[in-house]
Chains A and B, each alone.
Chain A
Amino acid sequence: MMRKLLFIFVLLFLPHFTQAAILYLAPDKGEYHQGDTFIMAIRIDAEGECINAVQADLKFPQEVLSAVDFSQGGSILNFWAAPPVIDENQGLISFSGGSAGGYCGKIPGDPGESNILGKIIFSARGGSAFGGKAKVEFLETSQVLLNDGLGTSAKLSSKGSTLTILPGVSSTPKQEWQEELAKDSTPPEIFKIEINQVSSAFNGKYFIIFFTTDRQTGLDYYEVKEGERDWVKTAGPYVLKDQGLRSIIKVRAVDKAGNHITVEQLPQNKPLPYKYFIAVAVLILIIGGIILFFVRRNRLNHE
């Protein structure tokens, strides 16, 4: 009895320590059948802190679950230092991203939760290997940094998710991701291309930067096309092949549902006119002719 009273006393009168930032998964539990495709959101509770960078490393049982995709749609992260990578063989998912100016938590009155970092799209393989249970957890390498200009680590705790994979296939399989894709008919937001050159990176070559978001299913990839060259898939800054800046540059942003937007940047320098090529060709012929003339004359003199 005394012990119980002491326990209650401790619970009631323990000082209120500041909580750490919490990385958590939603849903934290659920039941799925083999073949179901469902969305698991990675969320953050800043717990009164202002944070600006997150590295999330997650582990999932690859024998039971298959991570089929990752969506950045609706994320509070504006910039992705290390875009999401899924390692199906190891059962690992990792990404690093940040929010410019920081994220200071949910504001009361906000109609949304506004704390999603990203969404993992899982497909249930089957339940026999793990007795029907599948745990998705954050690894200890995950970290959250404070928005203090110093890169200070925030105190961090995490909550994973425990799923039950039921035997057999459901008569009405869950297709949450497919439904999201079907609903999304909005292309990524319009953006601009900027050509840059710095001595400290890209070997001093001209590169282009561009950035957009897709608020529905999330951005999938970018493609770049220079003049008549083929489209090239890229993830971020792109070093131009035409360093003469004489080609039209097109960048296409494609979202997970296949909606896309293409923006164009006109060449900074005008393409060389045909007259230029003709003049150069004539000049080469004249110089070649003169050299040939002197070579022959030399030979004749020697003879």
Chain B
Amino acid sequence: MFLCPRIFLINLLITLIVSGLFFSPFLFYKTVQASQTSVIITVTAAAVCGNGAKEWGESCDPPDFNGETCVSLGYGGGGTLKCYIDCTFNVTECSATPSTVPVAGGGGGYTPPSSILVLQGITSPGAIITILKDGEIFIVGQEADSSGNFEMRIFDISAGVHTFSFRVKDKENRESVAFSVTFTLSEAMTTTISGIFLPPTVGLKGNVLKGETAPQSEVSISISSAGKEVVKNTKAKIDGTWSYDLGNANLQEKTLYIIKAKASSPDGLMSAFSQSLEFYFKKAILGVPEVPEVPKVPGIPADLNGDGKVNLIDFSILLYWWGKNKPGVDLNNDGVVGLRDFSIMMYYWTG
């Protein structure tokens, strides 16, 4: 009789621990991993003005002034720095003319905090990232750090559905295919898009497939021909570079292969596939010099005005010839400028 309550308690404890372990991820994390890639969206309350803690999007939230004073804001004469009700600095009691006034004054009515977007992800170390927002160039030249990580915080962005497209240029000037995420940005909330793993860059030098991705990632190479697919694997070095000799893949000569690659990081993040490359295998002959690498930036089929970009100008030209036969604008050569040409243009869009 004495043992029964103990056994019951032990059972209860084990049940609680097991169920706790099982359910805790669902209780504490509202985020779920996407099936194909590792992109995760986390939506949290944006800065709450009036909670006494300065958060993103706020200049101050008394008593938290983030260490700022009248002097640090450029008011040499000092004075008392205050905070408006909308959590922006009130410099009316600061003296001496400042060199710059960081925040417009105002006060009065309550302004809801703006939506904040945080983009976090990985790519190859030192890669240059270009971001398009809804088809327009938004951020250019953001560089990934030496570990391939990047983070961007964007303030004052309108709520609603947005598509963000990412492209990278690696150290060898190879460009990746665009990777896009579409999501709804909630008003007055902080939306964090994390787990963005940009597709690896790829290029061919003779029979060697080369590219860059996040350091020490597993690179999975898909080689397909006539509906049959072979997958080969390699690993990226610490600097993010990777290569695979297609001579080791038992390929046949005079056969067209379509090759693309994707990567999984040591942290378990999955990238989408790179662009596809067409490849004819040719056995290496001793004494014959190596074939130069395929042009780093291949001609863009949808660049109709030849300015190196695919943007609204090219779209205007496409619309002008819509439904007509116009070689050069009829990108798939089916005799009419239509939806398929438009689709090809959307694929190559650079903004």
Contact with B along A224-238 (1 / 0, CB 8 A): 000000000000110
Chain B residues near A106 (CB-CB < 8 A): 182
A-B residue pair count with CB separations less than 8 angstroms? 182
Residues on A with C-beta less than 8 A from B272 are: 50, 104
Within 8 A of A (CB), among B322-351: 322, 328-329, 331-332, 339-349, 351
Q: Is A79 an interface residue (CB 8 A)?
A: yes
Report how far A60 CA is from B337 CA in the complex, Å.
28
Given contacts A74-B160, A147-B346, A237-B320, contact A100 B135 (CB under 8 A): yes
Chain B nearest CB: distance from A38 CB in Å? 21
Of residues B41, B163, B351, which shows the largest number of chain A Cβ atoms within 10 Å of its Cβ?
B163
Q: In the complex, what distance in Å separates the CA atom of A198 from the CA atom of B329?
A: 13
B316 and A109 contact, CB distance less than 8 A: no
Q: A78 to B178, alpha carbons, bound, how many Å?
A: 15
**Would A213 and B134 be within 8 Å (CB), given that A79-B315, A101-B165, A102-B346 are in contact?**
yes
Instruction: Indicate whether B214 reaches chain A with its CB closer than 8 angstroms.
Output: no
Q: Which residue of A lies closest to B29 (CB)?
A: A109
Cβ 8 A contact of B161, one of A52, A76, A148, A207: A76
B interface, size bucket: 35 or more
- Known A107-B39, A111-B186, A112-B161; judge A145-B328 contact (CB<8 A): no
Q: State in angstroms the CA–CA spacing of A81 and B165 once bound together.
A: 20
Q: Does A116 contact B (CB under 8 A)?
A: yes
* Contact B343–A207 (Cβ < 8 Å): no
Residues of B within 8 A of A211 (CB): 135-136, 312
Complex interface bits, A94-129 against B, C-beta within 8 A gives 1, otherwise 0 = 001011111110111111111010000000000000
B317 with A200: CB separation less than 8 A = yes
Decide: B178 and A114 in contact? CB cutoff 8 A. Answer: no
B316 near A111: Cβ-Cβ < 8 Å: no
Collect the chain A residues with CB atoms within 8 Å of residue B15's CB. none
Pairwise interchain contact A149-B165, C-beta atoms closer than 8 A: no
Binds A, one of B30-38, B56-64, B241-249, B282-290: B30-38
Top 7 A-B residue pairs of the complex, sorted by shortest distance between their CB atoms: A112-B184, A151-B340, A101-B165, A215-B160, A108-B32, A109-B41, A100-B135
14 chain-A/chain-B pairs, Cβ below 8 angstroms: A78-B134, A79-B342, A98-B345, A99-B163, A100-B165, A100-B349, A101-B135, A106-B182, A107-B39, A114-B182, A149-B344, A150-B332, A198-B313, A201-B321
